[in-house]
Amino acid sequence: MSDDILLEVRGLRTVFDTRAGQVCAVDGVDVTVNRGECLGIVGESGSGKSVTFASVMGLVRSPGRIEAGEIVFDGTDLRKLSPRKMQALRGRDIAMTMQDALTALNPALTVGEQLAEMLEAHDDDLPRRRGARRAAIQARSVEMLTLVGIPSAGDRLRQYPHEFSGGMRQRIMIAIALASKPRLLIADEPTTALDVTIQAQVLELISKLRAELGMSVVLITHDLGVVAEHCDRVMVMYAGQVVEEGPTAQVIRDPRHPYTRGLLASIPRPALRGQPIRPIDGQVPDLVDLPPQCRFLDRCPEAGEACRHLIDMHPAGPARRARCIRIAVPETEKA
Partner 1 sequence: MTADPLLKVTNLTKVYTGRPSLVGRMLGRAPVNVRAVSDVSLSVNRGEILGLIGESGCGKSTLGRAILRLHEPTAGKVEFGGTDITALPAPDMKAMRRRMQIIFQDPYASLNPRRTVAEIVGLPLQLHGLAKTRSEMREKVALMLEKVGLKAGQLDRYPHQFSGGQRQRIGIARALISNPEFIVCDEPVSALDVSIQAQIIQLLQDLKREFALTYLFISHDISVIGYLSDRVAVMYLGEIVEMGPVESILARPRHPYTQSLMSAVPEVEASDKSQRVQLSGDLPSPLSPPSGCKFHTRCPLAIDICRQRQPETERVGTGHTAACHRLKENLSLLEGARA
Q: Which residues pair with 18 in a beta bridge?
A: 21
Does position 175 bind partner 1 by CB under 8 A?
Answer: no
Q: Which residues pair with 184 in a beta bridge?
A: 94, 216
CB nearer to partner 1: pick between 77 and 281 = 281
Does position 20 bind partner 1 by CB under 8 A?
Answer: no
Does position 102 bind partner 1 by CB under 8 A?
Answer: no
Query: According to CB under 8 A, which residues from 206 to 265 bind partner 1?
Result: 222-226, 228-230, 249, 252, 262-265
Shortest distance (Å) from residue 200 CB to partner 1: 4
Other Cβ atoms closer than 10 A to 38: 24
Shortest distance (Å) from residue 190 CB to partner 1: 13
d(C-alpha 311, C-alpha 323), whole Å: 6
Q: In this structure, which amino acid lies at residue 308?
A: R
Shortest distance (Å) from residue 208 CB to partner 1: 12
d(C-alpha 191, C-alpha 193), whole Å: 5
Question: Which residue of 2, 19, 45, 335 would you call a contact of partner 1, by CB under 8 A?
Answer: 45
Does position 83 bind partner 1 by CB under 8 A?
Answer: no
CB nearer to partner 1: pick between 280 and 324 = 280
Strands 241-247 and 233-238, by their bridges, are: antiparallel
Phi, psi (deg, nearest 5) at residue 165: -80, 170
Shortest distance (Å) from residue 328 CB to partner 1: 25
Question: Which residue of 83, 107, 131, 276 would you call a contact of partner 1, by CB under 8 A?
Answer: 276
Shortest distance (Å) from residue 211 CB to partner 1: 17
- Say which DSSP state 271 is in: G
> What are the residues whose beta carbons fall under 8 Å from the beta carbon of 53, sequence distance 6 or more?
41, 96, 186, 188, 218, 220
Nearest to 187 by CA among 102, 117, 114, 99: 99
Q: By CB under 8 A, name the binding residues for partner 1.
A: 44-45, 165, 167-168, 195-201, 203-204, 222-226, 228-230, 249, 252, 262-270, 272-273, 276-281, 283
